[in-house]
Structure 1
């Protein structure tokens, strides 16, 4: 059984490395095609010379039982359309593109089996959620393979298509949101003290790592952790009260803005479907 990759950017590289390290996938099982060779591709091939670098995308679809399509959203349907003759009832196509649904993929052909995957950078360290959505035509065996392979290095959660955009905010995008929020915390502390930026970053990053372990290893919820740390009338409670006052509006606006951006992506794909089909 071969596992294919069409496109080889950062997420394809993450998935390849994690599958090789944790799942029952060997270098001989991997076949990759990308239009432009890059440093990531060269590095993974240097590390694992038995990985096959294909000259065509068609060869990947023909040889691989499971093919991860890791190209930009507007490139997904053209790639599949270009390779339509190679897409058969045994082809399991796994798209990682935001804004492209499994129903969109079926405009190319209903012969193939389609799954959608939203990976997260955090799974590169073995902690994080892989969101999946399987079309009804995907066999139980292919669903099980994908879920089990991803499950070796992440928590796999199947999410309905109508919820997958918001769920992506909570998994794939949230490391960026969290980093942006706490970067502002760092800068505020630097403005208010003689501490260096490096010192403040170390303190906050350690606190984040420790908080994560408390949540994952000691069974705390956000609410129970707040109650454990914030004594009523104390200093921490002041910050908690301010957060509860100011942050709801921020996060409501954040989800509105990301939803609008997803809507733009969906509109672009719908326009592309009209042009292609």
Structure 2
């Protein structure tokens, strides 16, 4: 991969994840990274201590001016103001990648149509080399810039291009799902503790091993959820009882889960629309 300058504006947990994965797996050298954040934090200090060649910019404008690809990793309501403040630097050669939920590529283009915009929804699971990076490229993004982003992310994740109308729901399935899965199985842990003399750490170890093993069966042995159920749940057996209960109770739970997250995304989109009216 040809050496290019990569920038980050904002340096929270996801920016730190991407930075570390790019350095470890993609062909990105520390000297090619430039980072700006309004307030320095422990994550930024730690990565700079590890890689002193990384440039810490004094302004966001420095990042946009120097980087070919700039990841905007600020809160949703901070994205458009950052772009507006630096509009002068957003030329047609600049590739801007926003990771903010609720901010569409079309929203970004309200600032200026000169730059090339992509949207990225990363996932915590990619920090361990397995997981999905959701990407949506505007039509103006060059083939070379699309390839750079997809190839860089592809060194540590599965890259899936998703249409804007599906990206919120897809985010539930990738970025949010580790939290949903953890919440569901935390309840499984507590139910087992209530039902037995096993300790919480003992139960957690059993279930976490089962989750890890299930993931490997799915990833490495070609199982689907349905085929795995058929492999494990003998008709009329104990496992089949739990499967039957899940099939009875869980559809309503997941329907409501997606309804609630959709409503929250709608709130984000409404806030951005109001912000657009104020800014323009």
TM-score after normalising by structure 2: 0.99
| Superposition CA RMSD, Å | 0.2
Give the deviation of 1:38 after TM superposition: 0.1
Give the deviation of 1:9 after TM superposition: 0.1
CA–CA separation in structure 1 for the residues paired with 2:268 and 2:110: 17
CA–CA separation in structure 1 for the residues paired with 2:159 and 2:263: 26
The aligned residue for residue 184 of structure 1 is 187
Structure 1 runs of 4+ with >2 Å offset? none
Choose the corresponding residue for 2:98, options 95, 98, 101. 95
Instruction: Deviation per CA, 1:79-137: give whole Å up to 9, x if none.
Output: 00000001000000000000000000000000000000000000000000000000000
Give the deviation of 1:252 after TM superposition: 0.1
Residue 259 in structure 1 maps to residue 270 in structure 2: no
Q: How many residues align?
A: 277
CA–CA separation in structure 1 for the residues paired with 2:37 and 2:83: 14
The aligned residue for residue 159 of structure 1 is 162
Unpaired stretches in structure 1, ≥5 consecutive residues: none
SS class of match (1:185) = helix
CA–CA separation in structure 1 for the residues paired with 2:37 and 2:239: 51
Residue 21 in structure 1 maps to residue 63 in structure 2: no
Choose the corresponding residue for 2:78, options 75, 92, 110. 75
Residue 31 in structure 1 maps to residue 34 in structure 2: yes
Unpaired stretches in structure 2, ≥5 consecutive residues: none
CA–CA separation in structure 2 for the residues paired with 1:116 and 1:39: 26
Choose the corresponding residue for 1:247, options 235, 247, 250. 250
The aligned residue for residue 194 of structure 1 is 197
Give the deviation of 1:20 after TM superposition: 0.2
